[in-house]
Structure 1
Amino acid sequence: MSNELPTLKANVLYDVFKGADKRVFSQYLHKFIHYNHETLAFLDVHASILGIDPDVELSFETNKYIGAIPLRSPVNGKQIGDLLVYPRFAKERYRFLEMTQLLTLLDEQIEPDYLNSMPLASGPLVQPPQYYDAIKYIQAFQTASRENWQKFRTRECIYDFPKSNTNWQKYILKEHLPENKLMFPVRDNELSTHHLEWQQAKYVFDLAKEELAKPTTPVSFRFKVLDLIKTLAVETYNVQPVPVQKFIIRVSDPLSIKQLKTQGNIFLNRKSKEVSAWRIDIAQLFERYAQYILKRVINRMPARFYSNPKFSAYGDLPAWGMRYLEPDALI
């Protein structure tokens, strides 16, 4: 991520802030910073005004976050576009590809923060990448499919003899017909793998497939799980998907099912959110990556590696003393 973005010259700003008086253009830039103060602070972007009228310029400086925020015009306060901050060496088409590859390598789950702001003008084009969450869910779905996850389900059956759970009220309505005399409606409870929650899991699996099929998903990620998707689709062909907005995680659920539901809720939460201002702490990601590299090196040496150890000091300390220390890595 580049800390200092290219400075916007006056001739460029005139086209963006249409209707602004060029004689006092610096006042409009001050209004622009004031109107967008909250969203710029959310993304930790510092805006500076350089020069004097009419040759005034606007510059931005980023910090540790990547993300997108909506921007308001200083002329009328209406939305004029978005500011997108993405990793420094990212390609134009797949801006978050390298970041997502690191997340996959580290097996880390870093969730974006959202701000209650106006929707982004660019919509889904600048939203955080969802294909990573889709891949994580499909992998969790594969693990859960190996679990013999059975639950009771209720089925409406017809028997030619009465049972303890016969629906007599329903039987009375039709028994006057001779052909229905020996047709007893029964609600059977049986253990099955094709229960409601597994049907809901299949529904989210289908959503994840659709997400990976979008042109915004890098080809390398799509091919990575293509065979797995085909296999799981064949195995669950007879499972009827049932829509769900949120999985309920129960204490009695097996570990693989809890992980499936957790990842499913993350994926569903991302898809249901309106595309507003968001950010991801890229510094946290590269801290984990540095720890990953160090740990791999240390594993080949007669040494031990500790991630984020915590040290506290007690008693009388000088003014320059530190009472708390948490290094990123300790060897």
Structure 2
Amino acid sequence: MAKKQSNTDWVKSLQPSRLNVLELNDSERSYLATSFLSQHVNARNEDPVVAKLVHQFLKINKPYLNELDVQAQLSYSGDDIKLNLKSHTKIGAVPLISPITHKNEYSLVIKPRFGWNGVGPILSRTGFRYLPQILELPQLRISETHIPPWVLSTVILSRIENLIKKLDRRFEMTTEVHPIPKGSVDWADYAQRRVSSANFLDFNCTYSDLRDNRLVKSFIKHTLQKQKQSLETQRDFGIFVIQLIDYCDSLLQNVYDASPVKPTPLQLSKLLSQSFKGDTLTKGIQAIKWTSEEKGLAGIGDLHGLPWSMNMEVLFESYLESVISRISGKIGGIIKSGRLRETIIPIDWDPPLIGSQRSLVPDIVFTRNDDLFIIDAKYKDHWEDLNIKNWNNLEDVIKERHRNDLLQILAYTTGVSQKNISCCLVYPCKKETWKSLLKRNRHIHKAEISRGNKRINVFLTAIPFDLDEENIEKLLPIFLN
């Protein structure tokens, strides 16, 4: 009777292997080779075994894939087994578990499809309006060489500031010298030392005092000092690092009376066990832990890193807001941000309609003199499609989405009273596309709609993620008509 094959007979003995990184862009469907799994298969007919491994791989990694909104399934063309991945607008990096070792052997990295030269520079251009979300997942085996350390510092300092604001206070027994008796006085010390040295108003007092948690404050001071030391070595990155150093100094003022103490893993574990998941204390202690262990954000590189994610729709809105702020600095004007809920246009249903939309929220409203500009960021491929193909050759779904974008921004104009109104849809584009548009003077498209005594200008434009001051001026015709 043939010996029954064990679950590991068809798997080669695992040796310490190279790092396995699965990469794809946001908002795309990608068919990735399954060689990262098949390399461990030891069978004459590999396909059934590889298919089984892929199914196990997808099952155990579903929670990690969900963190980046990735849909995954096995795809078999008859020739090859592929890993069919569909990403959406989230980018970032998460660990993936091997179905063979059940350890974090792999990593998934999603990059922005319009390209940039790293998370750090783009965050600085947005003025840190939107920061990466650090995921509560196991550590990755890689870190992003294009993510400088100061990027994580922005997250850490923000968490530390919130921790300081919410720091619990408790009664502690304190011994200090006071000019008047307080609590329990050490009269023997007073008689033998103070009086003999003519210090008649020095009383060594022990009393219960309501103070901030001294241990956590000591950890915070150690963290801030370490962050400042790191930031001091990164001054060449630009003015934003100097701003972070000033931010760090301002936080240090809140713990000036504490002595810096490096926390032990046991102390951090105890503090984390006392807090609730997701609360300010947990996030603050995590920031202290990352600093103590010198973690970095994960991506593509050689070192260990923290899993993270960012929503490109929110990031593009933040980036556009920073661009409009720079334009406002050149020509004047007042900016209101949808991100800060400053642009809400309420919808009043009569009678109230439960479940329907209650308000309109443009991304940016910019007023200058008597002119009103309603600006909406659209993190979509429409602009690239419109400039590569003509309207007749576009897919119906793209046409419909573009029409919806126009109708949406025109709907915003119904809630305003100004006579001179301009609407602007802004799409992202690649740097090469931007240069081509400038060369052909096609970077701005304009239409005009007249309604009685109200005139509405409609603009379509696109911007890359690395606009410098010279290129920002190319957008001024939208606001200076």
The normalised TM-score by structure 1 is: 0.59
Residue 205 in 1 paired to residue 205 in 2? no
Q: Is the 8 A contact 1:135 1:225 kept in 2?
A: no
Q: What is the 5 A alignment of 1:213-252?
A: 219-221=236-238, 224-225=241-242, 240-241=259-260
- What is the CA distance between 1:288 and its match in structure 2? 1.8
Counterpart Cα distance in 1 of 2:244 and 2:177? 38
- What is the CA distance between 1:22 and its match in structure 2? 1.2
Q: Secondary structure at the match of 1:241?
A: coil
Q: Is the 8 A contact 1:313 1:322 kept in 2?
A: no
Q: Secondary structure at the match of 2:227?
A: helix
Counterpart Cα distance in 2 of 1:279 and 1:242? 31
- What is the CA distance between 1:276 and its match in structure 2? 6.2
Q: Is the 8 A contact 2:130 2:315 kept in 1?
A: no
- What is the CA distance between 1:66 and its match in structure 2? 2.0
- CA deviations on 1:54-79 (whole Å, 9 max, x unpaired) are 52222433222222222122345443
Report how many aligned residue pairs link the two structures: 278
Label 1:242 to 1:155 Cα distance change in 2 as closer, same or farther (>3 A).
farther
Residue 168 in 1 paired to residue 174 in 2? no
Q: Is the 8 A contact 1:43 1:65 kept in 2?
A: yes
1:327 to 348, 352, 362: 362
Counterpart Cα distance in 2 of 1:131 and 1:22? 46
1:287 maps to which residue? 317
2:119 to 96, 99, 108: 96
Counterpart Cα distance in 1 of 2:236 and 2:333? 41
- What is the CA distance between 1:303 and its match in structure 2? 8.2
Between 1 and 2, higher relative CO (CA 8 Å, sep ≥ 6) is seen in: 1
1:14 maps to which residue? 38
RMSD between superposed Cα atoms in Å: 5.3
Residue 270 in 1 paired to residue 287 in 2? yes
1:72 maps to which residue? 97
Q: Is the 8 A contact 2:26 2:90 kept in 1?
A: no
Q: Which amino acid letter does the alignment assign opposite residue 76 of structure 2?
A: G
Q: Secondary structure at the match of 1:28?
A: helix
Q: Is the 8 A contact 1:73 1:79 kept in 2?
A: yes
Percent identity over the alignment?
Answer: 18
Q: Is the 8 A contact 2:185 2:204 kept in 1?
A: yes
Counterpart Cα distance in 2 of 1:237 and 1:324? 46
Q: Is the 8 A contact 1:50 1:58 kept in 2?
A: yes
Label 1:41 to 1:310 Cα distance change in 2 as closer, same or farther (>3 A).
farther
Q: Is the 8 A contact 2:71 2:85 kept in 1?
A: yes
Q: What is the 5 A alignment of 1:13-162?
A: 13-15=37-39, 18=41, 22-24=46-48, 25-52=50-77, 54-88=79-113, 89-91=115-117, 95-103=118-126, 105=127, 107-110=128-131, 112=133, 114-115=135-136, 117=137, 119-122=138-141, 131-132=150-151, 134=153, 137=157, 156=176
- What is the CA distance between 1:240 and its match in structure 2? 4.8
1:145 maps to which residue? none
Label 1:84 to 1:213 Cα distance change in 2 as closer, same or farther (>3 A).
farther
The structure with the largest strand share of the pair is: 2
- What is the CA distance between 1:206 and its match in structure 2? 0.9
Q: Is the 8 A contact 1:130 1:267 kept in 2?
A: no
- CA deviations on 1:83-125 (whole Å, 9 max, x unpaired) are 122434244xxx422332234x2x425351524x4x1341666
Counterpart Cα distance in 1 of 2:245 and 2:95? 38
| Structure 2 gap ranges (5+) | 1-24, 162-173, 208-213, 272-279, 296-304, 366-373, 375-481
Label 1:298 to 1:73 Cα distance change in 2 as closer, same or farther (>3 A).
same
Counterpart Cα distance in 2 of 1:32 and 1:241? 45
Counterpart Cα distance in 1 of 2:306 and 2:154? 23
Q: Which amino acid letter does the alignment assign opposite residue 360 of structure 2?
A: L
Residue 314 in 1 paired to residue 314 in 2? no
Counterpart Cα distance in 2 of 1:77 and 1:241? 40
Q: Secondary structure at the match of 2:54?
A: helix
Counterpart Cα distance in 2 of 1:9 and 1:298? 48
Counterpart Cα distance in 2 of 1:327 and 1:9? 42
Q: Is the 8 A contact 1:97 1:218 kept in 2?
A: no
Mean Cα deviation higher: 236-245 or 264-273: 236-245
- CA deviations on 1:112-169 (whole Å, 9 max, x unpaired) are 1524x4x13416669x87624636849x99xxxxxxxxxxxx774599xx96778335
Q: Is the 8 A contact 1:47 1:61 kept in 2?
A: yes
